[in-house]
Amino acid sequence: MSIMTKAALLALASAFLFNLETVVVKAIEGVPLATIVLARALGQLAWTVPQLLHDPIGLVRTKNLKLNLLRGLLSGVSWYLYFLSFAALPLATATVLSFTSVLFVTALAGPVLGEVVRWRRWSATLVGFAGVVAIVRPWDGAEGVALGLPLAAAIGASCLGAGIVLTTKMLARSERTNTIMFYIGLVTTALALPVALPGLAWPGWSSLGLLLLTALCGPFAMHLWINALRLADASVIAPLSYVRLVFAAGFGVALFGELPDAWLGLGAALIVGSALYITRREAKVARRRAAPLVAAPQIPAHPPESAASSTAASSEKSR
């Protein structure tokens, strides 16, 4: 099996598990939202337990505690909004709106990261937001009022998702992946526990099974996605994530009788199309910036053995 094939299969498996998580959230009945978020947070924390037992000091050590705490806070709040939107909206609609994170990243990249965002990416971003308008349909008063809160929750979760992407980019410069995941689990658990405690009750065996599935799907999907990105360029792998829309539409029709309409199709085309363009454009810009470094490599200051050791250390640190 080639590396590209393996990366593609990992990305598709990740997309399926992310969809399965939302299907489970939609299927759970009689369980408070705070309990679902707590289950997801505990699952995130449990994922790092083996590393915590193996190297507790290495896992907890961080060069940017404040940013890790902010990253965890953004995750915790976004999960509340994300699960609320999927519980109330059709699966395909909520999934499409979750893709708008790419648009918010473009809008925030300038003021937060100091990146130069030129007119092509801004144009694609505006096209994507036009797709949001097509899905929300503010002119359709009756349906807009009924779905106002879930729609706002979906868009709010995507906006916070952009903050998650930007803070993760900054943390990735100095932090290990397991360390970032540990602080996400720690902060989200601390955030969800006091909210969930008053409503905690025995959910029944079936709901307990669904909660455990929720706790497993999210972290496992994230793990698969990270491994896919390690094997192939993001501009190649990212488009595969949009297969989630196909999974969502299929699950929605088969399990919940949700039939997508023409407005959703138009909105999905605009949002996914603009997100794909932005992803491709960013990849081209990154390659152009890297080209001079490849064309004129620096003379190494150390023997080849030292350089190899440095590269290996950097690779290990990124894991």
> 101-146 pLDDT, tens per residue?
878 877 776 666 566 667 777 888 888 888 888 887 766 655 554 5
What is the pTM (predicted TM-score) of this model?
A: 0.79
Q: Is residue 319 part of a domain?
A: no
- CA contacts within 13 A on the Cβ side of 99: 35
Report which listed range, 110-119, 161-170, 196-205, is most confident: 196-205
Token pair belonging to 234:
């993001």
Quick check: is 109 in a domain? yes
User: What confidence score (pLDDT) does residue 189 get?
Assistant: 96
For residue 108, the model assigns a pLDDT of 72
Which pLDDT score is estimated for 111? 64
The answer to whether residue 310 is domain-embedded is no
Domain containing 127 equals 3-286
Cβ contacts of residue 20 below 8 Å, gap of 6+?
A: 213, 217
Question: Is the confidence at residue 305, as pLDDT, over 50?
Answer: no
Q: Is the model's pLDDT at 296 over the cut of 60? A: no
Q: What is the pLDDT of residue 314?
A: 32
Does the pLDDT at position 266 exceed 50? yes
Q: Among candidates 159, 185, 187, 178, which has minimal Cα distance to 40?
A: 185
In a domain, 278, yes or no: yes
Whether residue 302 is predicted with pLDDT greater than 50 in this model: the reply is no
Sign (positive/negative) of CA torsion 280, 115, 230, 217? Answer: negative
Whether the per-residue pLDDT at 298 is higher than 70: the answer is no
Q: What is the pLDDT of residue 148?
A: 78
Give the C-alpha separation, 31 to 203, whole Å. 7
Residue 169 covered by a domain:
yes
DSSP string, the chain: --HHHHHHHHHHHHHHHHHHHHHHHHH--S--HHHHHHHHHHHHHHHTHHHHHH-HHHHH--S-HHHHHHHHHHHHHHHHHHHHHHHHS-HHHHHHHHTTHHHHHHHHIIIII-----HHHHHHHHHHHHHHHHHH-TT-HHHHHHTHHHHHHHHHHHHHHHHHHHHHHHHTTT--HHHHHHHHHHHHHHHHHHHHGGG-----HHHHHHHHHHHHHHHHHHHHHHHHHHHS-HHHHGGGGGHHHHHHHHHHHHHH-PPP-HHHHHHHHHHHHHHHHHHHHHHHHHHHHHHHHHHSPPPPSS-HHHHHHHHHHHHHHH-
Number of domains in the chain: 1
CA distance 78 to 158: 8
Domain for residue 239, yes or no?
Answer: yes
Residue 217 lies in a domain: yes
Alpha carbon 241 to its chain centroid, in Å, reads 10
Average confidence score pLDDT of the chain: 82
* Residue labelled with tokens 């707590």: 38
Query: Who's near 318: CB < 8 A, 6+ residues apart?
Result: 172, 176, 177
- Across 232-252, average pLDDT: 82
Distance CA 109, CA 11 (A): 25
> Which of 97-101, 118-122, 201-205, 314-318 shows the lowest mean pLDDT across its residues?
314-318
Using pLDDT thresholds of 50, 70 and 90, give the confidence band for residue 176: confident
Look at residue 25 in the predicted model and tell me its pLDDT: 93
Looking at the domain assignment, is residue 148 inside a domain?
A: yes
